[in-house]
Amino acid sequence: MIHPRLLRALQLTPKNQGVRHVHATYAHDALCGIFLVSLIPGCGGGGDSTPHPVLLAPASTNVVAYWTDVGAATVNATVATATTPEERRPTFHADLATMHLAIYDAVSAIDGRYKPYLVTPVTVAAGASTEAAASAAAYSVLRALFPNRGAHYQAAYDSYLAGIPAGDAKTRGLALGAEVGAAIVANRANDGRAIVLQPYVPGTAPGKFRGMNPVSRFSPAIRPFIMTSASQFRPGPPPALDSAVYAADFNEVKELGGTVSTRRTAEQLDTARFHTEMPPIFLTRNFGRFARTTSDVADAARLMAAIYTGFADANNACFEAKYFYETWRPLSAIPLADTDNNPATVPDPGWTPVVPTPNHPEYPAAHSCTAGFLGELLRIYYGTENVTYTLNSNVTGTTRTYTNTGAFTEECTAARIHGGMHFRYSTAAGAELGKQVAHGRCSARLACVKNSLAEPRCGAGGGAHPTFN
């Protein structure tokens, strides 16, 4: 249950007006007492205990949204020469998490409502321009990580700064943002992605992944932003090949996910295709919509830092588990079912998935890991399951509306089965991993600093919830 003092801050419209629009007039202290599952008494006023529905309408323009778009264009750019670890082994989620943490710490130093993630700048924050500080912080990170991609951020930086009036506020903001950006970059130096990998040897035993040169093998080595380790939330092993659970999920994807299926509906196929857009494109574009749901710069900075740090940790935790278990995909399991020692599975040598299968191990499902994280983050962050938002896909050219925080996770889970890429038990394990990452954000970082009477405490669910002080 949300603390009543927080609820009053969230009451932007009377109950009888229905959905609450979170943009422009977004309450200044609405999230003062909460960072994900962290509730801090003493931030806000009284109120009733029933949270209003939330409509995340991307209708605001702010400096965080601006740099969210610039950052997305930068990480998705193609460069002829790679000179940094980021460019040699790009990991858009970790790189954008780094940028958003710099923005967050710079903005928070000036705004004063939230604790910094890492940096308390020496530069005097009083009177500094928030827009200048956020821009300088983002620019410092992008320039450090992607020196060959200046075409995607230099003009954007110059243009934005030109719109900020000259003066002491601008000067202080630029100095503060540059200081914070440099400190965040230094903290993320040698983050593990440059690990030397040995040539991959595909499995040959029943149940083992068959892929050649699979992708993202370095992801488990990347240092987490909040988790204690990439293996902190590793799920238990998948069902045994000779189990009834394995047989049921095997037969489900065999019937629904193949190129030829008499059971899959047109809607199910369209949904599967909706979720096949490349994640760096799909997610950065759609995450940018969340940055536009409030005109409050500090809240936007905080939300985007929460999204990207959690997304990065969820992704790397997922790939740690994938390469720990190294299990086969349906595209191998179904043709080779005569080797699984399960009488309830029948091989089909000609079976192929209806959409292409990514080249990395099956368990747990990565899309479910990140979708599970996002849904649970939004539920905890806004204090209600009744959060409505939209996402779009360039593959299908359509926009989908989700009317509760679990809807995207459920749809994404089904899509990976109907697309022939995953077993249901894998999507369930992935979604649970993502939720645990969201709950694992019980942290003094990014928390309210005004009227704090206690350290953050964890909410219900998600297993063990460590603190990260």
pLDDT at 3: 33
pLDDT at 288: 93
Q: How far apart are CA 389 and CA 238, in angstroms?
A: 33
CB atoms within 10 A of CB 378: 27
pLDDT at 172: 98
pLDDT at 439: 86
Q: What is the mean pLDDT of residues 318-333?
A: 99
454 near 392, Cβ under 8 Å? no
Give the burial string for 178-202 (b: 16+ CB within 10 Å, else e).
bbbbbbbbebbeebbbeeeeeeeee
Residue 393's beta-bridge partner residues? 398
Statement: residue 70 has pLDDT above 90: yes
Q: Which CATH class for the 219-439 domain? A: mainly alpha
Q: What is the mean pLDDT of residues 347-368?
A: 98
Considering only 21-30, 197-206, 271-280, 340-349, which range has the smallest mean pLDDT?
21-30
147-192: pLDDT as tens digits: 999 999 999 999 999 999 999 999 999 999 999 999 999 999 999 9
Statement: residue 22 has pLDDT above 70: no
Statement: residue 17 has pLDDT above 80: no
Give the chain's mean pLDDT. Answer: 85
Statement: residue 87 has pLDDT above 90: no
Nearest residue to 382 (alpha-carbon basis) of 52, 104, 14: 52
For 189, residues 6+ apart whose C-beta sits below 8 A from its C-beta are: none
Whole-number percent of the chain with pLDDT over 90: 78
377-400: pLDDT as tens digits: 999 889 899 999 999 999 999 999
pLDDT at 276: 97
Q: Could you state, in order of their start, the residue ranges of all structural domains in the chain?
A: 63-187, 219-439
262-310: pLDDT as tens digits: 999 999 999 999 999 999 999 999 999 999 999 999 999 999 999 999 9
Q: What is the mean pLDDT of residues 32-54?
A: 44
Task: Report pTM.
Answer: 0.85
